Structure 1
Amino acid sequence: MLDQVTDTTPEAYAYPLLIKHLLHTPLAQSPDQEIVYRGDHRQTYRTLGERIRRLANGLGSLGVTRGTTVAVMDWDSHRYLECYFAVPMMGAVLQTVNIRLSPAEIAYTINHSGAEVLLVHTDFLPVVESIRDQLDTVRVFVHIEEDGSTAAPHTIPFWGEYEPMLASSASEYDFPDFDENTRATTFYTTGTTGLPKGVYFSHRQLVLHTITAMAALASPQSGQRFHRGDVYMPVTPMFHVHAWGMPYVATMLGVKQVYPGRYVPDQLIRLVRDEGVTFSHCVATILHMLLNCEAAKTADFSNWKIIIGGGALPHGLARAALERGIDIFTGYGMSETCPLLSLAQLRPGEKPVDIDDEVRLRCKTGLPVPLVDLRIVDDEMADLPRDGKAAGEIVVRAPWLTQGYRNNPEASEALWEGGYLHTQDIANIDEAGYIQITDRIKDVIKSGGEWVSSLEIESLISQHPRVSEVAVIGVKDEKWGERPVALVVLKPDAPVTAIEEDIRQHVMGFSAKGQISKYAVPQIIRIVPSLEKTSIGKLNKKLMRERFTA
């Protein structure tokens, strides 16, 4: 029997899921709401709409048309937000360039994406100057000049500057309809092995991700919420997974938005205070940095909600945030998933029995958000019991997952083997449905025949009063196969006498209670001045293992 496809009236509007439609509500309901940049520049949503149209006309005059890739190198700004909309709304493709990659990697990603136009902030002129001769596809350079910034000497043949381009362009633009499956964005993953891989998303995927994120974040009875009364500021770079998709959510809701430019801890804390910021997101290492900066010592964080993603939320950091009044909770996803898959929001009536229980719940990987089909499977793709113990790989399906890696069919097939996207994360699911990641496949430690969760040991060590940061890695051991090694950064005022043994005894206490195996207690604890991190602030355990072995 044939599917009963609905009849379509000839003049009915099919309403494709395009990014331009995200602007209808805020422009109609919140035209005078503020968008703030660094506390210095202020504009309204009405102005945002006009600048988006002017940007589209300006780019059009440079030959940007459907299918053209436009690359951007900028700090988190109102300009970046304008590019989030104008470029894909033209039918072009936005490449958000990871400015923290090496110059050679930046050149590779721009060439690999096929970018023809490159918008460059003044601060990145030295990088572009160093790779200009390597950029094979870029034909037009546009300078983003910043008040107060001094341009380094260069020979880049700029067409012109961003603001004059907008000022001289028409304020009306008729954004066309096209297939909702048209590619809207491209950016590059920052793995610790091999060249960066291009991840891409369509208009349909970004719109569905925006709607679902908005619904998921609005659903809690109280706490861990994002709503129309919030003030939003990202502390996750806009070049990385669309700043977790939150600028699209914030814009659709018409909330006040604050963009901080370059991340300077005291400046971020000042913006939280002066602009009344109530909602942010970042990786754990950034929050750790913020809580320990000078301006944070006297700051009031009692109205600040923060999602931690990009890695585990250590129990010690969660406790410190809660003690400062921050409504902190975990979000989970990855570059390939757009990124949102789950949130650690407390359910209605779920009242923690004490602070330890509350920390435990908020640090879990969380519950899948709507439309996410998430499974824990073994090597044969068979489902594992949801008993909070059986651990396997997380595989997922959702409407917004990347359908592959750009021009990389072999890696794409591995990513989607068996019809589910493979995350490479090891986790368990308990009877209540909460996910708990225990490790990355590449980071899992097997000692004495038992699997050891580096994330769990890190979380336990983070609760030691003298510990500032910690990473646990596995190193080869002739007797046990592997043994965990803890690399620890101490708090500034922490005494170092016998600290390694003190930390080991701290972990031994959890082993004595049966909470962890004796094989999980690190026999080597090394005090280090800092921990190696990736370009987006994640712990770089591959580099740590290499340096420790060396």
Structure 2
Amino acid sequence: MTQPRLLETVAAEAYRYPLLIRRLLPQPQTTDTEIVSDGRRFSYAAFVERVHRLASGLAQHGVQAGDTVAVMDWDSHRYLECYFAIPMLGAILQTVNVRLAPAAIGFTLRQSGASTLLYHDDFKALAAALVPALGIERTVTFGGTATDGFEALVEAGDRDFAFADFDENAIATTFHTTGTTGDPKQVFFSHRQLVLHTLAAAATIANQPVGQNVMRTDVYMPMTPMFHVHAWGLPYVATMLGMKQVYPGRYDPATLLALKRKEGVTYSHCVPTILRMLIDVARKDAVDLAPWTMMIGGSALPEALAQEAEDVGIIALSGYGMSETGPVVTLARSKPGEPVEARCRAGFPLPLVDIAVDHACGGELTLRAPWLTQGYSGQDASNALWDGGRLHTGDIAEIDADGAVRIVDRLKDVIKTGGEWVSSLELESLLMAEDGVAEAAVVGIPDARWSERPVAFVVRGAGPAVTEGSLRQAVSARAQTGAISRYAIPDAIHFCEALPRTSVGKVDKKALRETAIASASPATA
């Protein structure tokens, strides 16, 4: 077999341009947009200067290429500066999930080998308890302390600090996945991977239909934590495009809506739980939130929730990805006049993403793309993740006639009952379409006769008071029309004040499954 022809003639002085994170800084620095955070405003020129100073200050304190610098903070300009300054030094940025239990946080810091910890004063007690046993050499505090070590670090740094080039495959960031069982798994991303993800995400979002897209004139505010999968990679996109950026700190619906109004926010991303809270506040205050485009991820976007969002001026559309994918690999869109259903699918692949449904694995969605993590810190788990040379997502999917991905369910959440497969996501969407239901989650529990049986958990919302009988009747009516299997009618429907959540806002189905089993009758269990 003949081989592709390689470039042979290269100029002696030709420069091989490594894809490093610093290439994402806008050049020249824009002056007509700003970054808003903690009541402060920074021009892009000031932001870039602070990145140089921060890197210089860290270097003066002994941080070297290859070191891991961990950060514990709320969404802020500081975090954005760390997104750039730390990897640009050749060091590794570890974004610490501050919502994990203290023991789990200690595990992630230990496994990453962090030698430096930058932390908000809100985590002072936690840091004091963890640092002595972890061998962390340097700590820097900020926010609320009498002496802000972070600002001192920046002020002492050199504004003209020069960054050297290095291999684009060097690790830039690391963080830990947040499953509901076992220890968190550590994933890694290189400079090259993050740059390519940024370019593909920007190209996709910018080319969405009007009202679902983003332009440089939009105002961006993240509402997924910056410690979680690079805030879905959107801060890198917003910075590269020179957009106005607003960082809200801790998430509070009233604060988010106040910043929306004051700063003119038009593009955000969040999990369905945050969207639900924003809708409820908007309805209570009778405010129209348009224009506001919202990418929704973390879990499925129910059609009923997308419609409620549209009613208060928010255009919600699904994005799909996971910690291992860096994260965004697909994004939904709809044509003018199309129902919201089109925007609730996982959507269309980003450029450079190769998708396939592996029917040998029960219809599992598998991927290839240049920015997917190459593995976990453990070799066995890495091999399973990349079995056959494709990344296994653990999601059952279908590809519609127009090429859009539709997630049917998680492999571990699909319910096998009466010899049929029942999608928990489909049943949840059906329940949430009923007036008076704010949220719903469905799990399967063991059953001696049927293998598994579905059990639903429902959070009541505004509207008529729903009961177990009324919801069961609604599901039964859909079963009679053939829209769903008769085996999908839940054995029990439990009402609760709120659904349990993981540290990144996903519904904790493991906890619900344990509750459902404990509540089941001996005959059922």
TM-score (norm 2): 0.95
Q: Which moved more, 1:253-262 or 1:430-439?
A: 430-439
Rounded to whole Å, the distance in 2 between the matches of 1:281 and 1:431 is 27
Rounded to whole Å, the distance in 2 between the matches of 1:219 and 1:268 is 27
Select the residue among 324, 343, 355 that pairs with 1:362.
Answer: 343
Structure 1 residue 512 displacement after superposition: 2.1
The residue identity in structure 1 corresponding to 2:14 is A
The residue identity in structure 1 corresponding to 2:454 is P
Question: Residues 180 and 262 from structure 1, CA distance in 2 versus in 1: closer, same or farther, beyond 3 angstroms?
Answer: same
Contact 2:283 2:312 in 1 (8 A): no
Rounded to whole Å, the distance in 1 between the matches of 2:115 and 2:129 is 18
Contact 1:273 1:299 in 2 (8 A): no
Rounded to whole Å, the distance in 2 between the matches of 1:296 and 1:120 is 36
Select the residue among 172, 191, 207 that pairs with 1:203.
Answer: 191
Structure 1 residue 64 displacement after superposition: 0.7
Q: How many residues align?
A: 516
Structure 1 residue 221 displacement after superposition: 3.6
Structure 1 residue 325 displacement after superposition: 1.8
Contact 2:435 2:463 in 1 (8 A): no
Contact 1:27 1:46 in 2 (8 A): no
Rounded to whole Å, the distance in 1 between the matches of 2:452 and 2:343 is 30
Aligned counterpart, 1:258: 246
Aligned counterpart, 1:443: 413
Rounded to whole Å, the distance in 1 between the matches of 2:516 and 2:4 is 61
The residue identity in structure 2 corresponding to 1:515 is A
Aligned counterpart, 2:14: 12
Contact 2:271 2:505 in 1 (8 A): yes
The residue identity in structure 2 corresponding to 1:547 is T
Is residue 273 from structure 1 mapped to residue 261 from structure 2 by the alignment?
A: yes
Is residue 28 from structure 1 mapped to residue 9 from structure 2 by the alignment?
A: no
Aligned counterpart, 1:372: 353
The residue identity in structure 1 corresponding to 2:123 is F
SS where residue 133 of structure 1 aligns?
helix
Structure 1 residue 2 displacement after superposition: 5.0
Aligned counterpart, 1:220: 208
Rounded to whole Å, the distance in 1 between the matches of 2:73 and 2:275 is 22
Rounded to whole Å, the distance in 1 between the matches of 2:143 and 2:309 is 37
Post-superposition Cα deviations, 1:428-476, rounded to whole Å, max 9, x if no partner, equal: 1122112111111111101111000000110110111111111001011
Contact 1:189 1:198 in 2 (8 A): yes
Aligned counterpart, 1:512: 480
Post-superposition Cα deviations, 1:362-417, rounded to whole Å, max 9, x if no partner, equal: 1111111111100001236xxxxxxxxxx6000000010000112x1110000000
Is residue 241 from structure 1 mapped to residue 229 from structure 2 by the alignment?
A: yes
Select the residue among 408, 420, 425 that pairs with 2:390.
Answer: 420
Select the residue among 468, 473, 478 that pairs with 2:438.
Answer: 468
Rounded to whole Å, the distance in 2 between the matches of 1:268 and 1:222 is 24
Post-superposition Cα deviations, 1:280-300, rounded to whole Å, max 9, x if no partner, equal: 001111111222237863332
Rounded to whole Å, the distance in 2 between the matches of 1:162 and 1:219 is 38
Aligned counterpart, 1:68: 67
Aligned counterpart, 1:387: none
SS where residue 525 of structure 1 aligns?
strand
The residue identity in structure 1 corresponding to 2:137 is R
Aligned counterpart, 2:375: 404
Is residue 477 from structure 1 mapped to residue 483 from structure 2 by the alignment?
A: no
SS where residue 459 of structure 2 aligns?
strand
The residue identity in structure 1 corresponding to 2:513 is R
Question: Residues 130 and 294 from structure 1, CA distance in 2 versus in 1: closer, same or farther, beyond 3 angstroms?
Answer: farther
Select the residue among 509, 519, 523 that pairs with 1:541.
Answer: 509
Question: Residues 294 and 371 from structure 1, CA distance in 2 versus in 1: closer, same or farther, beyond 3 angstroms?
Answer: closer
SS where residue 31 of structure 1 aligns?
coil
Post-superposition Cα deviations, 1:11-47, rounded to whole Å, max 9, x if no partner, equal: 1111110111111xx2415234110014x11111000
Is residue 454 from structure 1 mapped to residue 424 from structure 2 by the alignment?
A: yes
Post-superposition Cα deviations, 1:62-104, rounded to whole Å, max 9, x if no partner, equal: 1111101000000000000000000001111000000000000
Contact 2:282 2:288 in 1 (8 A): no
Q: Which moved more, 1:433-442 or 1:206-215?
A: 433-442
Structure 1 residue 505 displacement after superposition: 1.3
Rounded to whole Å, the distance in 1 between the matches of 2:484 and 2:231 is 36
Contact 1:342 1:366 in 2 (8 A): yes
SS where residue 366 of structure 2 aligns?
strand
Rounded to whole Å, the distance in 1 between the matches of 2:27 and 2:180 is 42
Structure 1 unaligned spans of 5+: 152-157, 353-357, 381-390
The residue identity in structure 2 corresponding to 1:486 is A
Is residue 529 from structure 1 mapped to residue 497 from structure 2 by the alignment?
A: yes
Rounded to whole Å, the distance in 2 between the matches of 1:93 and 1:520 is 47
Aligned counterpart, 1:143: 141
Contact 2:346 2:404 in 1 (8 A): yes
Structure 1 residue 223 displacement after superposition: 2.6
Is residue 104 from structure 1 mapped to residue 103 from structure 2 by the alignment?
A: yes
Structure 1 residue 494 displacement after superposition: 5.1
Structure 1 residue 422 displacement after superposition: 0.4
SS where residue 41 of structure 2 aligns?
strand
Post-superposition Cα deviations, 1:204-263, rounded to whole Å, max 9, x if no partner, equal: 000000000000111124231111111000000000000000000000000100000011
Rounded to whole Å, the distance in 1 between the matches of 2:200 and 2:434 is 38
Rounded to whole Å, the distance in 2 between the matches of 1:492 and 1:123 is 35
Residues 21-170 of structure 1 aligned to structure 2 (within 5 Å): 21-23=23-25, 26-28=26-28, 30-38=30-38, 40-136=39-135, 138-146=136-144, 161-170=149-158
Post-superposition Cα deviations, 1:190-215, rounded to whole Å, max 9, x if no partner, equal: 00111000111000000000000000
Rounded to whole Å, the distance in 2 between the matches of 1:135 and 1:288 is 39
Rounded to whole Å, the distance in 2 between the matches of 1:37 and 1:401 is 31
Aligned counterpart, 1:385: none
The residue identity in structure 1 corresponding to 2:20 is L
Is residue 306 from structure 1 mapped to residue 291 from structure 2 by the alignment?
A: no
Aligned counterpart, 2:182: 194
Aligned counterpart, 1:155: none
The residue identity in structure 1 corresponding to 2:446 is K
The residue identity in structure 1 corresponding to 2:480 is A
SS where residue 28 of structure 1 aligns?
coil
Rounded to whole Å, the distance in 1 between the matches of 2:83 and 2:436 is 43
TM-score (norm 1): 0.91
Aligned counterpart, 2:521: none
Aligned counterpart, 1:182: 170
Contact 1:291 1:297 in 2 (8 A): no
Aligned counterpart, 1:432: 402
Structure 2 unaligned spans of 5+: 519-525
SS where residue 233 of structure 1 aligns?
strand
The residue identity in structure 2 corresponding to 1:309 is G
Aligned counterpart, 1:317: 305
Question: Residues 187 and 521 from structure 1, CA distance in 2 versus in 1: closer, same or farther, beyond 3 angstroms?
Answer: same
SS where residue 428 of structure 2 aligns?
helix
Rounded to whole Å, the distance in 1 between the matches of 2:282 and 2:483 is 36
Aligned counterpart, 2:280: 292
